[in-house]
């Protein structure tokens, strides 16, 4: 803590020392807060939150980005310890807490409900209530819903994302025998249930009708919406987090909490830790618990393919929950994933009712390796001439 007369000429602490300090703080905090809280204290810190944050912190620290062999390296970037066992122990401690459990899922509608009301899967979440200052505006339902319903389509999922969802049989869409049919009338058939729970696509049932992204005349297209900026850029909208029973145009009384950490994430953290500890059967077991919950078959992979399966499962299970941006950086795969152009679709419906689509490039993307780290803001750099800027931003 600095005072007004203090000397601001300080150097940056090492990455490892910062991780060590945060771990110490979390270890101390977990013994100062309760294991559980009553419903009226939903959102307040518990022992499970502290342990889950510790697991996530060390997960990042042990990842490839902070390996001393990675570039850039040195005190500002590297983590010289191997604490995968601590990652596993912290995640498993949360998993074993009796107040947490995975919500049962029989269909995609059940999966959507995980995100709409407080439940035993939520470890750390921000309450949304008009009686709580700063928690109610604007609602996700308003900002994310299709424009035909008065929504703003702030986020448009890409075709790249859609293609990552597997078929209901657990196969990738490009695998021989998957059953994937890219024709206009079948492109969205027989996908795994999380696809239908997370993505709104042309023809998807939503509220009292099907989504209409086609031209001419589609109610969710440029023809059907007064403001073109509210039309999805890709012909896709989020469905995850949306409450179809909420009249969001007449009220902003959304009660859906925003989830920071939930139990399924801890299963995947535990799986990744066990993989890195060499315990592949245990890693597969916990990935399969998440897959089986949504009616997908077991993975049987090992070695590099198992790690790719863990990466895939984080991609799909935690989609739109704020993890992917950091995951591709800590795994150092962003030079591949973030170099892909963003693809969308344009739908057309003929006068006789025949649907067709064409792919389009929505945004051309170019990756530079300096983007594995963000720059230190200029106003912070100006406070001390001793601060070192991150590599690539000088």
- Burial annotation 87-110 (CB, 10 A radius, 16+ → b, else e): bbbbbbbbbebeebebbebeebee
Number of structural domains found in the chain: 1
304-325: pLDDT as tens digits: 999 999 999 999 999 999 999 9
- Burial annotation 194-205 (CB, 10 A radius, 16+ → b, else e): bbbbbbbbbbbe
Q: 6 pLDDT band (50/70/90 cuts)?
A: confident
What percent of the chain has pLDDT above 70?
A: 96
Using the predicted structure, report yes or no on whether residue 24 has a pLDDT greater than 70: yes
| Residue 61 lies inside a defined structural domain of this protein | yes
At 200 the three-state DSSP class reads: strand
| Residue 173 lies inside a defined structural domain of this protein | no
Domain range for 38 is 15-103+262-332
Using the predicted structure, report yes or no on whether residue 359 has a pLDDT greater than 60: yes
| Residue 352 lies inside a defined structural domain of this protein | no
> What is the Cα Rg of the chain in Å?
23
- Give the model's pLDDT for residue 133: 55
170-187: pLDDT as tens digits: 999 999 999 999 999 999
Q: What is the DSSP string of 226-255?
A: S-GGGS-SSS-EE-TT--TT--TTT-----
Torsion of CA 249, 253, 259, 262, to 10 degrees: -110
| Residue 269 lies inside a defined structural domain of this protein | yes
Using the predicted structure, report yes or no on whether residue 139 has a pLDDT greater than 70: yes
| Residue 155 lies inside a defined structural domain of this protein | no
| Residue 28 lies inside a defined structural domain of this protein | yes
Q: 380 pLDDT band (50/70/90 cuts)?
A: confident
| Residue 163 lies inside a defined structural domain of this protein | no
Using the predicted structure, report yes or no on whether residue 51 has a pLDDT greater than 90: yes
- Give the model's pLDDT for residue 131: 62
| Residue 295 lies inside a defined structural domain of this protein | yes
Q: 227 pLDDT band (50/70/90 cuts)?
A: confident
Predicted model pTM: 0.95
Work out the mean pLDDT of the chain and round it to a whole number.
94
- Give the model's pLDDT for residue 128: 77
Using the predicted structure, report yes or no on whether residue 1 has a pLDDT greater than 90: no
Tell me the CB-side half-sphere exposure of residue 154, using CA atoms within 13 A. 8
Q: Which two tokens stand for residue 297?
A: 């078959």
Q: What is the DSSP string of 66-107?
A: G-TTSSS-STTT------HHHHHHHHHHHHT-TT--PPP-SS
Q: Which two tokens stand for residue 155?
A: 């986020």
**Contact between residue 48 and residue 99 where contact means Cβ atoms under 8 Å apart:** yes
Domain CATH for 23: 1.25.40.390
């Amino acid at each position: 803590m600095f005072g007004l007369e203090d000397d601001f000429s300080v150097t940056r602490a090492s990455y490892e020392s910062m991780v060590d300090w945060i771990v110490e703080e979390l270890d101390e905090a977990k013994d100062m807060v309760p294991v559980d809280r009553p419903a009226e204290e939903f959102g307040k810190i518990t022992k499970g939150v502290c342990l889950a944050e510790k697991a996530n912190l060390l997960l990042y620290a042990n990842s490839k980005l902070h390996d001393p062999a990675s570039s850039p390296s040195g005190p500002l970037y590297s983590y010289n310890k191997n604490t995968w066992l601590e990652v596993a122990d912290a995640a498993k401690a949360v998993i074993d807490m009796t107040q947490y459990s995975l919500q049962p899922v029989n269909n995609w509608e059940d999966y959507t409900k995980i995100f709409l009301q407080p439940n035993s899967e939520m470890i750390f979440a921000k309450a949304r209530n008009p009686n709580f200052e700063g928690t109610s505006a604007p609602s996700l339902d308003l900002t994310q819903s299709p424009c035909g319903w008065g929504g703003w389509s702030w986020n448009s999922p890409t075709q790249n994302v859609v293609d990552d969802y597997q078929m209901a049989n657990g196969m990738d869409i490009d695998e021989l025998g998957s059953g994937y049919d890219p024709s206009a009338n079948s492109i969205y058939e027989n996908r795994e249930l999380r696809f239908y729970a997370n993505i709104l696509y042309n023809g998807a049932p939503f509220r009292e009708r099907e989504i209409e992204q086609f031209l001419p005349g589609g109610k969710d297209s440029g023809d059907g919406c007064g403001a073109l900026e509210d039309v999805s850029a890709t012909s896709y909208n989020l469905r995850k987090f949306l409450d179809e029973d909420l009249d969001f145009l007449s009220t902003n009384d959304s009660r859906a909490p925003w989830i920071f950490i939930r139990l399924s994430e801890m299963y995947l953290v535990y799986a990744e830790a066990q993989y890195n500890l060499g315990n592949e059967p245990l890693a597969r077991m916990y990935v399969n618990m998440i897959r089986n919950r949504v009616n997908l078959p077991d993975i049987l992979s090992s070695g590099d393919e198992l790690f790719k399966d863990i990466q895939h499962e984080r991609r799909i299970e935690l989609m739109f929950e704020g993890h992917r941006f950091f995951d591709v950086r800590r795994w150092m795969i962003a030079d591949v994933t973030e170099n892909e152009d963003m693809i969308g679709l344009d739908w057309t419906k003929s006068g006789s009712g025949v649907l067709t689509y064409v792919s389009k490039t929505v945004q051309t993307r170019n990756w530079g390796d300096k983007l594995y780290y963000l720059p230190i803001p200029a106003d912070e750099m100006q406070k001390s001439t001793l601060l070192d800027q991150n590599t690539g931003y000088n």
